[in-house]
Structure 1
Amino acid sequence: MARQLEEQIVGRFPVGRRLRVLDVGMGRGAQALRLARAGHQVTGLERDATMIATAREALAGEPEGIRERMRIIEGDGRDTGVHFLPGSFDVVLCHGVLMYVEEPDALLAGLARVLAPGGLLSLLVRNGDALAMRPGLSGDWAGALAGFETVACQNRLGLDVRADRLKTLTATLAGIGAPLHTWYGVRVFTDTAVDGTDVPGDLEALLAAEERAGRTDPYRGVAALLHLCGVRG
């Protein structure tokens, strides 16, 4: 996931350019910190107080130069218009957020609004076209059959969430002026792995296989998650 994002940034912007980045729903701030360490000016938007505290603690342990390049704002991703002017950012991330939003179109339109022309919109969503895969591979045939008929599912935390279909998001991105540029599959082979499982000895090969599958049809189409990259016109 991080490699895919870096690939898109390097391919779209001049080397060495300090980008203005907005991370909507930044969580604990791992991705935001990674980009701040790379030299970019990063704003993290998060509404969960516990996540914010964890992100602030992590940021406090960074060198002064990195601390100066990152700011954290408490707020909802649907309220970007309240916090930011149009065209304020070169890159906008919204990873693992849409699944918690019942009607995501307004949120997405707000994200496109704060993107500068030529800016990159990076989305990580639950794949609504592959909801039968996890229960099917686990031998839950009733769950697999149900997965064909819905975009409702449970995430790894046991929370009820919503998935997105590639065709629907492609149309939405075109409609808000940030048409789909490219997309990847994420967790093609590893979605059934149990959290907390020991790291396999052949981790490098596993990551290479996941990376290759995430770029290759038909494998990427059955990934648990989709990473979509749109570009502001």
Structure 2
Amino acid sequence: MARQLDEQIAGRFPVGQRLRVLDVGMGQGTQALRLARTGHQVTGVEREPTMIAAAREALAGEPVGIRDRVRIIEGDGQDTGVHFLPGSFDVVLCHGVLMYVEEPDALLAGLARMLAPGGLLSLLVRNADALAMRPGLSGDWAGALDAFDTFSYRNRLGLDVRADRLTTLTAALAGIGAPLQSWYGVRVFTDTAADDAGAPDDLAALLAAEERAGRTDPYRAVAALLHLCGVRG
């Protein structure tokens, strides 16, 4: 997914421009640090103390120039209007967050307000149109049947969360002034892999296959996750 995001950034902003990035639900800071290493100024918002601690620990191991480009704020993605002025960022990331929000429309509208004109909104969501794939490919036929025509599922942390449909988010992005520009599938072939599975010997081929499938119909439509990119008008 990092390559997809870089592709969208490269296609939208001049080469070498140092972007103002907001990472909502930054987790342990993997994406924030990656972008800071490439010269961008990143503000991360996270509410979980364990994730904030992990992000700060990772940041502490970076050179001072990179540390100075990352700011961490303890808070909720729905409170961006409290911390920032409208139009404060060129790129807003919201990866793996919407599934924990029961009614995401207000959150999405708030994120769009944070974008400067021409700014990029990057979303990573669970694909509601493919919820039967994981149990089906695992041989859990009852689970697969239950997954049809639903928006809810139990994630690998054992939490009951929700998924989103591409058509619904496309309409939502249009309604908040950041219409969908492109979308990709993520984890087309690898969603059933164990969390502790080691890297295979043919990792490069696996990544190439996932990358190709993630941008090719009909494969991307049944990916476990969807990566959507909207642009502020």
TM-score range, shorter chain: over 0.9
Residue in 2 aligned with 1:155?
155
SS in 1 for 2:7: helix
Aligned to 2:72: 72
Taking the aligned partners of 2:154 and 2:11, their CA distance within structure 1 comes to 35
Mapped to 2, the partners of 1:104 and 1:25 lie a distance apart of 14
The residue correspondences of 1:112-151 to structure 2 (distance < 5 A) are 112-151=112-151
Q: How does 1:34-73 map to 2 (within 5 A)?
A: 34-73=34-73
Q: Counterpart of 2:128 in 1: which secondary structure?
A: coil
Describe the SS at the equivalent of 1:184. Answer: strand
Report the identity percentage. Answer: 85
Aligned to 1:219: 219
What CA distance in whole angstroms lies between the structure 1 residues aligned with 2:149 and 2:210? 27
Residues 14-38 of structure 1 show CA distances to partners (whole Å, capped at 9, x for unaligned) of 0000000000000000100000000
Counterparts of 1:139 and 1:51, CA distance in 2:
34
Query: 2:19 aligned with 1:22, yes or no?
Result: no
How far does residue 155 in structure 1 lie from its aligned partner after superposition? 1.3
**What is the CA RMSD across the aligned residues, in angstroms?**
0.6
**Deviating more after overlay: 153-162 vs 201-210:** 153-162
Alignment partner, residue 169 of structure 1: 169
How far apart are residue 157 of structure 1 and its match? 1.4
Q: Which residue in 2 is equivalent to 1:200? A: 200
Offset, 1:136: 0.8
Shift of 1:202: 0.6
Structure 2 gap ranges (5+): none
1:198 CA drift (Å): 2.1
Please, what TM-score do these two structures have when normalized by structure 1? 0.99
Distance 1:17 1:198 in 2: 37
Aligned to 2:3: 3
Letter in structure 2 aligned against 1:142:
A
Distance, in Å, in 2 between the alignment partners of 1:120 and 1:176 is 13
Code of the aligned partner of 2:104: P
1:12 is matched with 12
Q: What is the aligned residue count?
A: 233
Runs (4+) of structure 1 moved beyond 6 Å? Answer: none
Within 2, Cα distance between the matches of 1:139 and 1:78?
A: 38
User: 1:33 maps to which residue?
Assistant: 33
In structure 1, C-alpha distance between the alignment counterparts of 2:139 and 2:152, rounded to whole Å: 19
User: Secondary structure at 2:129's aligned position in 1?
Assistant: coil
What letter corresponds to residue 123 of structure 1 in structure 2? L
Deviation at 1:158, TM superposition (A): 1.7
Q: TM-score, normalised by structure 2?
A: 0.99
Aligned partner of 2:189 in structure 1 is 189
1:232 and 2:197 matched: no
- 1:115 and 1:67 map into 2 onto residues whose CA distance is 23
Q: Which runs of 5+ in 1 are unaligned?
A: none
